[in-house]
A and B are shown apart, each in its own frame.
Chain A
Amino acid sequence: MEHIVIIGNGISGITAARHIRKLSDKKITIISAETEHFFSRTALMYIYMGHMKYEHTKPYEDSFWKKNRIDLKFGLVTAINTEHKSLQLENNENMQYDKLIVATGSISNKFGWKGQDLKSVIGLYSKQDLDQLEAIAPNNEVCQRAVVVGGGLIGIELAEMLHTRKIPVTFLVREERFWDGVLPRGDADMLGRHILSHGIDLRLNSNLSEITSDAHGNANGVIIAETGETISCNLVGLTAGVSPNIGLIKSTAIETDRGVLVNRYLETNVKDVYAIGDCAQQREPIGNRKPIEAVWYTGRMMGEALAQTICGNRMAYNPGHWFNSAKFFDIEYQTYGWVFATPKKGYAHFHWKHDDGQKCITIEYQEASNIFLGINTFGIRMRHEVFDRWLTEQRTTDYVIKNLKEANFDPEFYKTFEEEINNAYKYQFKMAYR
């Protein structure tokens, strides 16, 4: 019986395993050094916030794996020998594989800051990171201030987490606006105001210069590059993005760049070795997508596609229309299709925002044809299926605005804003063509 070994029990590896099991009778082993069972990484924040316990973040009961004959191995892989198709584990145990799936995920970025490896400097990616956070910042007596470096999705999550324990947070964002490498100005401005309204000390245009240390090797402050100001703190969160966790792979015959290089079939240069999820890097990017996509959804989709290939139905990873989601304190965000921070030439944005400062949308479209390319929606839930269909059908923005009600996914009895949006849209065009 063919033995499929998967390194990494995140969403990519687990999805691949589940689908291989559905399609075949192969022997499946998943190795992880992080946790014994699969848990939802995206839910780590809720454990610290007290919304859930670790047990609740496990999407399957512990008995699920045995029932589905998926072997779980809790341990660290230290070496891969692709020639003999074998793995070595921490305790010198060897494991043979017929097919190997590398799904090792990411590690937090560190950009060579002075003091970045001090104690009480953490990232927020793994279960271990969370345990460390809990130890360093259990409450606002032990941790009197925290500094979060990096204005992206993980940074704002960490800020929100610390905020729930009433720990004052200084949030250093390199850019002019929060997450403005991704978000258009109107969206980013609204989020900036929302972050401030929660009492977070948001510092825009602020780079980290260095992290200072006390006598015990604990971080006790950061120095801001632009102003030279020192902010004393007991915790530094480095949340300036993640990069593929491929330390293990680099010493093997498997070709890497920033991530493990794969073709559209998620195959590496070595036969019978595949890579999926955060750690995989497409040799050629797909559409507007980045070659490395560290996103829950894409990890899952790669797992779905690869399972087909492994089970004899060779299939390219062919993601459909881009979508993503996040939550910034109280504001939910969904995106469908492509909305760039600044529209390229020939493209334009339509932006609507509500007076309460909690809702806005930005639509990107092609100016000449009025074709709809994507939407960012904040504070209003919208239907994935409807936008996916509209994108496939290449609907115009006029059509999308007119039919926006169809896409509404807010709970029943919620106030709706389609009419207001429609009026704003008409107004903008009237002004533009006057």
Chain B
Amino acid sequence: MSTKTNSSMSLAKPDSQTLSKTQKIAVALGIVGLFIMALTLFNVDFPNKPLFLSLSLGLITAGTIMFSNNAYLTKQAGIKNDGVWFKSIASRGLWGWALGIVLTLFYIVLYFKAEWLGLAADGGANGGLVALFDPLSRLLNGGPASQWFVYGTLYTVAILVFGYKFMLKYRHNRYEQLRTISVMFFQLAFAFLIPEFMARLNSETFSLPYYDLKNIWPLNFYNFDKYRVDSMIEAGDIGLAFLIFGIVSIFVISPILTYKYGKRWYCSWVCGCGGLAETAGDPFRHLSDKSQFAWKVERWVVHSVVVFVTLMTTAVIYSYLGNDSSKYWLTKDVFLLGVAGLLTVVFALVMLFKRKELAKDAQYGAIGYFVIIMVLIGMHYFSGTKNVFLVDTYFLKSSYGFLIGAIFSGVIGVGFYPIFGNRVWCRFGCPMAAMLGFQQRLFSKFRITTNGGQCISCGNCSTYCEMGIDVRAYAQKGENIVRSSCVGCGICAAVCPRGVLKLENDSMNGRINSNDILLGNDVDLMDLVNQK
């Protein structure tokens, strides 16, 4: 599909969707709120920080709420995509690019030049933007703010206010409403408040690492780093419980939920990245690339990230384990064997039961498995105490953190919302999404059901799929959509004008069906063609 936009054929101004008076006032409020923050970057030192911080966040919130109310409550409930491709900000026009660049720059400064935001040098007092958030930080965790606190607050505010907007936009759709309440709750409670309160509990004798409990490895690829594991073990029962929860969530909770509901239970109901994408990112969902080529790139990139993160984590843990089994049962060798054994079991089960469904991808899977096993064996023979393959594991981890954690998930993932759509990270980069997706494709009850022969190939579903799935390609064949990348946002079903799509959890039998002749034609013909 062409990516050029805003080429409306109108002779006059194509953009007939001008802002109403109320919307203009709302935008003004929001901009004043942002301007207060911007001023701090120019070292304006506000006298009463709590007041100005409240004012800033309050104005942004009020502006967004006012705008949303006027945009949606003045119209009847229903699909609200009128003029989406005529709006500069939503169709890669000038405003879209401007926003993309501003967001990208913000992420670059946040990750690499936090002192420009006013982060204190060792021991000093914060200045600028970070200082503006000090009062709130003190209130929650007792200490001064960091750039991450600023980011976390803004992130949470964004999910809450744009979540509100999204709920108004889809106020006729309870699935969308509940899902949005869920991501708003998990962001506010699990990602923002609980970790801050936990930090408050830390003392000289008791300390827990920052832990957003809903973040599961490999999304929080750092979870099993030495310093974290040490600190959790030292924190006694609570710390141990956290550590065990971290492991259980990977191997027990997540597989069970994914089996029952598909990966949507996480990606569009719980996850923070998904939360931002579904709320603040919603106006950009149609910008995802639906081409077959993009799908190919997606599969290679995201699975490479999975391989990378698996090996990296293994190497990191390997590097700090001991050799002496008399001190602790989990030694380097036991660990390596364990990882290899687990992978072998998964691989064998998949090949045994799901080989047919994987078809050609089975070869790639086999190659991937082989590479990992060889690397694990290599690790055993060629590694020193700190090094794996002569490469410092710290270097491995920090380059993953830089490339994937910062550049991919932040700078590209969010900064490029207005250019590539809102799920670039989830689709191309997130190893968690890839692993859940692998299970969703093979061992899950979830699918998007197609309603017989009712599809009219209009393309709304594909256009508004944030993951770039060509939903129509399945729907017009009367085939259920069972795709590993589907995050179950439900928008395809919502925008379908003919009621053709339904997200559901049902039995594994007949989940993947392929029909050459659609329902509606002669039954004999359907039998003849479909029962090959």
A318-B525, A383-B451 are contacts. A134–B174 as well, Cβ < 8 Å?
Answer: no
Query: Chain B contacts of A61 at CB under 8 A?
Result: 1, 291-292
Query: Chain B contacts of A296 at CB under 8 A?
Result: 456
* Distance A41 CA – B1 CA, assembled complex (angstroms): 17
Interface hits, A193-228 → B, CB 8 Å: 197-198
Query: Chain B contacts of A131 at CB under 8 A?
Result: 9
Contact A43 B460 (CB under 8 A): yes
Contact B452 A320 (CB under 8 A): no
Interface hits, B6-42 → A, CB 8 Å: 7-14, 16-17
Query: Chain B contacts of A409 at CB under 8 A?
Result: 449, 451, 499, 502
Count how many chain A residues have C-beta atoms less than 8 Å from C-beta atoms of the other chain. Answer: 68
The listed residue (B9, B454, B459) touching A43 by CB distance below 8 A is B459
Min CB distance A338 to B, Å, is: 14
A40-B457, A61-B291, A334-B454 are contacts. A49–B82 as well, Cβ < 8 Å?
Answer: yes
The chain B residue with its CB closest to the CB of A40 is B457
The chain A residue with its CB closest to the CB of B521 is A301
A388 at interface, CB cutoff 8 A: yes
Query: Chain A contacts of B352 at CB under 8 A?
Result: none
The listed residue (A51, A304, A330) touching B76 by CB distance below 8 A is A330
A56-B463, A61-B291, A296-B456 are contacts. A411–B11 as well, Cβ < 8 Å?
Answer: no
Query: Chain B contacts of A300 at CB under 8 A?
Result: 453, 518
The listed residue (A140, A308, A321) touching B16 by CB distance below 8 A is A140
Contact B175 A411 (CB under 8 A): yes
A305 at interface, CB cutoff 8 A: yes
* Distance A98 CA – B14 CA, assembled complex (angstroms): 47
A-B pair count, CB < 8 Å, reads 200
The listed residue (B85, B172, B452, B498) touching A52 by CB distance below 8 A is B85
A327 at interface, CB cutoff 8 A: yes
Query: Chain B contacts of A138 at CB under 8 A?
Result: 8, 10-14, 16
Interface string of A128-139 (1 = CB under 8 A from B): 000100110011
A113 at interface, CB cutoff 8 A: no
* Distance A59 CA – B14 CA, assembled complex (angstroms): 25
Interface hits, B459-500 → A, CB 8 Å: 459-460, 462-463, 472-473, 476, 490, 493-495, 497-499
Interface string of B172-202 (1 = CB under 8 A from A): 1111001000000000000000000000000
Contact B456 A325 (CB under 8 A): yes
B520 at interface, CB cutoff 8 A: yes
Query: Chain A contacts of B83 at CB under 8 A?
Result: 49-50, 164
B391 at interface, CB cutoff 8 A: no
Query: Chain A contacts of B460 at CB under 8 A?
Result: 43, 46, 51-52
- A residues engaging B (CB < 8 A)? 11, 19, 22, 40, 42-43, 46, 49-53, 55-59, 61, 131, 134-135, 138-142, 164-166, 197-198, 296-297, 300-301, 304-305, 308, 313, 315-321, 323, 325-327, 329-330, 332, 334, 381-385, 388, 392, 409-415
Q: List 27 A-B contacts (CB under 8 A).
A: A40-B456, A40-B459, A50-B81, A50-B83, A50-B85, A51-B79, A52-B459, A53-B85, A58-B459, A59-B473, A134-B10, A138-B16, A141-B12, A164-B83, A197-B76, A297-B453, A304-B529, A313-B528, A325-B456, A330-B78, A381-B499, A384-B453, A392-B523, A409-B451, A411-B490, A411-B494, A413-B174
- B residues engaging A (CB < 8 A)? 1-2, 5, 7-14, 16-17, 76-79, 81-87, 172-175, 178, 291-292, 449, 451-454, 456-460, 462-463, 472-473, 476, 490, 493-495, 497-499, 502-504, 516-525, 528-529
